[in-house]
Every structure is written in C-alpha cells, then in structure tokens.
Amino acid sequence: MKCKMLMGVLAISCAAILSGCSQDDGKIVIRMAQASAADGAIGLSMDNFAKDVEAKSNGRIVVHTFHNGQLGTERENIESVQMGNLDIAVVNQSVLVNFFPDISVFDLPYTITSTEHADKVFLGEIGQSFLNKLSEVRLHGLAIWESGFRNLTNSKRQINSADDVKGLRIRVMENKIHQDLWGALGADPVPMSWSDAYTGMQQGAIDGQENPATVIDKNNVVEVNKNMAMTEHCYSTVFLVMAPKTWDRLSPEDQKLITDCMNQASLDERALSRKMDKEAITTLESKGMVVTYPDKSLFIERSKPVRDFYSKDFPELAAQIEALAN
C-alpha cells in the first residue's frame, strides 16, 4: 500500500513538472488520466480514442492514458488540468460539481429515467451547453461519457426494500446531494475517495458503496460485498475536460481532429458501457454476488425531499430535463 502511495506521489510530481501538450521528437504528446479501472468501458474507450487520434494524425499526436488513479484522485486531476499540468482528465460529474456547482442537477436522484432519456440530455443541447460553460472554471469541455445507473452493494444484508438500507454505512462521493440522498434513506453516508473505498470495505470501516455494475465488477467489489441491489438511483456520467493551455496550443486542424475523434469515441463508449453493464451483472452473480431488484417506488418517495430541495436552485433546467423523458 505504501509503495502504491509512493508511486502515486511520484506520478503527480512528474505531472506537475511537465507542462500540458508537450513536444517529443516533433510529436504532440497528450496525457489523459482517470481514477477507475483500465478494463472498464471508460478505460477501454480512452485507449481506443488514443489509438484513433494517433492513426488519424499519422502518428503526429500521441495520447498516453493513465488509469486507476495513477496521476492522482479525480479532484487532483481536475486541479492539474486547470493548472495545465495534465492535458485531459476523465472525471465523474459528482466530483466535478465541486468546481462547477450547476452540474449538481444531474445528481438529483431518479432524474434520468432511462438510457434513451440520458442520450437526449447529454448528447443534446443541454449537454453541449454544460461543456461550453466549463470555460468559466478554466476547463475546456470535450465530451460527456456514460458511467451508468448506480446501484448499491453492501456486506451486511440483501436489500429487498428501502427499509433494508437503514443503518448501513455507505461510501459516497464528496458530493452533498449523494450524502443527503443516503441520509434520507436512513443510511450513514461516508464521503470517501474511490481509491480508499475498497480498503474501507475490506477493513469494515464502511459496509458498502454505490456504483454502476461495470465499475463494481471491474474494481473487484464482490470480494468485499456480496449483496447488490439494483436501485438505479442516479445516472452517472464522466466529463472529459482538457486544459485550456493544451487546447490553445493545438492548431485549428488538430482541434478538429481531436473533436472528431472524441465525438466518435462518445458514441462508441455509450454502446460499450451498456453492453458491459449487462454482462457485469451476470459476471457478478457467477462470482457469488446476490443481486436483488427492490421496488423503487419507496426509494423514489423517500428521496423526493432531496430532489425538491436541490432542484430549487435550477427549476427551469430541471423542468427541461424532465420534459425530455417524455
């Protein structure tokens, strides 16, 4: 563990020394980092994006990808992008909200009702508007990818109704809406970085966590949690943000190349995410995970005060998102 932490510190130090969009033997080198597993839909799509950029640029632009928090936590990666020490960060919406609060509208529980609804929101005008607004916090928005609908796992008991959640210590992201959601459901929410969550569950400091099925599978959560409830309480995305310093150093032609490759990667990632999410449930069951499908109506009812309280900050936007569900 100490060795892993030392490697992380060294990686962050190296990233801080290098400036964004470095030149290596005449090539443009771009570093792209995320905190989750390399073999999930997001990690695989990052690698495919890198290959596509290199191929389309005839090897002139090279994208190096870093997974599993090699260059730091999601919060640290965002800050590195703002400073121009990292070129592209792939970060969960629920962490990015600490830098751009309006994104919290997407964290409202049971707001996104289906993958079709999600596509209308995130691939349409609303999603593009948010990408454009990120310039206000020194980030250049490239795309919004899918992480998927989040589900609850725990080591204590099967979840067959909302009542079964009471008393569970649940790891949540550093996000007030998520904390209040699980508090409203009677759980004890514990804000914690994802890199610390596995150890927390392993040592019994927390009982469980919530994530899309693919993330649960690829991060070996089944080793420490044997119960998964398909609560689908929040549709989670990751935002791909580039350092403005890096973007501005690219020629208009290279900016178009990056944009075109990213647009294709966005479509491919969503298709892959949905395929892998279905496969992950079967895989988890084969590894001993007990999967339950509780009635969501009580979850929706008990989370309504959280939805109502936070939606007051952006009533028009919340209404626009709801309208797209029809």
- Encode the chain (326 residues) as per-residue pLDDT tens digits: 434 434 444 444 444 434 456 666 789 999 999 998 899 999 999 999 999 999 999 999 999 999 999 999 999 999 999 999 999 999 999 899 999 999 999 999 999 999 999 999 999 999 999 999 999 999 999 999 999 999 999 999 999 999 999 999 999 988 899 999 999 999 999 999 888 999 999 999 999 999 999 999 999 999 999 999 999 999 999 999 999 999 999 999 999 999 999 999 999 999 999 999 999 999 999 999 999 999 999 999 999 999 999 999 899 999 999 999 98
CA-derived radius of gyration, the chain: 19
Token digits of residue 35: 């905190």
Shared-domain flag, residues 226 and 313: yes
Whether residues 256 and 288 share a domain: the answer is: no
Nearest Cα to 30, choosing from 72, 5, 66? 66
Q: What are phi and psi of 72, to 5 degrees?
A: 125, 180
Are residues 222 and 249 both part of a single domain? Answer: no
Instruction: Give the CATH number, domain containing residue 24.
Output: 3.40.190.170
Q: How far, in Å, CA of 219 to CA of 240, rounded? A: 21
For residue 120, what is the enclosing H or E element? Answer: helix 115-122
Q: Is 65 in the same domain as 139? A: yes
Q: Please indicate, yes or no, whether residues 110 and 230 belong to a single structural domain of this protein.
A: no
Q: How many CB atoms lie within 10 A of CB 179?
A: 18
Counting the structural domains of the chain, the total is 2
Q: What is the pTM of this model?
A: 0.85
The four Cα atoms 282, 285, 287, 289 give a dihedral, to 10 degrees, of: 140
pLDDT tens for 50-103 read 999 999 999 999 999 999 999 999 999 999 999 999 999 999 998 999 999 999
Give the other-Cβ count within 10 Å of 323's Cβ. 9
Do 17 and 139 belong to one domain? yes
Interatomic CA distance for residues 221 and 154, integer angstroms: 9
Place of tokens 């973007």: 247
Torsion angle defined by CA atoms of residues 112, 278, 241 and 317, in that order, rounded to the nearest 10 degrees: 0
Q: Check whether residue 37 and residue 167 sit in a common domain.
A: no
Residues 215 and 260 in one domain: no
